[in-house]
Amino acid sequence: MNCLFCKIVNGEEKSFKLYEDEKVIAILDTYPTVDGHTLIIPKKHYADFKELDSEIISHIYKVAKNLSEMLMTKLKVSSFTFAWNYGDRQAIKHFHLHLLPNFGRNKGKKNVEDIYKMLEEK
């Protein structure tokens, strides 16, 4: 399979990993729309949301809840948007949930490596 997210899950591609467990991995998007743009990706390949069962959906949202709290604190934002794309809008055909910190009019100007360093600080 030539899926970028499967390669990331298998350690074949570089990523800025924020979280990992037996079911999902969370990474910073390398082409972010805002600082801290994070993706939660199931380790099992699901082409889109229609293939997800209730157990993995529940797990993804549990991880999203925990990660969003950390991101909000460290990035000093007070709101978030959660999104997934489907159909033509879904660039990579492996389901993933976007966590998008809301900075208001200021989307931020930091690069992914700088954001990763901020988030990895204790």
Would you call 37 a catalytic residue per the annotation? no
- Delimit the domains of the chain by residue range: 4-120
Strand partners, 107: none
Please name the amino acid found at residue 45: H
DSSP 100: E
- This prediction has a pTM of 0.88
Q: Which two tokens stand for residue 92?
A: 């990579």
Catalytic residue among 37, 94, 96, 98: 96
Angle between helices 54-75 and 112-120 (to 10 degrees): 90
pLDDT number for residue 122: 65
User: Could you report the per-residue pLDDT of 101-113, keeping only the tens digit for each?
Assistant: 987 666 667 778 8
pLDDT number for residue 6: 95
DSSP letters along 27-58, please? EE-SS-SSTT-EEEEESS--SSGGG--HHHHH
pLDDT number for residue 107: 62
User: Could you report the per-residue pLDDT of 85-100, keeping only the tens digit for each?
Assistant: 998 888 899 999 999 9
Residues of the chain with pLDDT under 50: none
- Which CATH number is associated with domain 4-120? 3.30.428.10
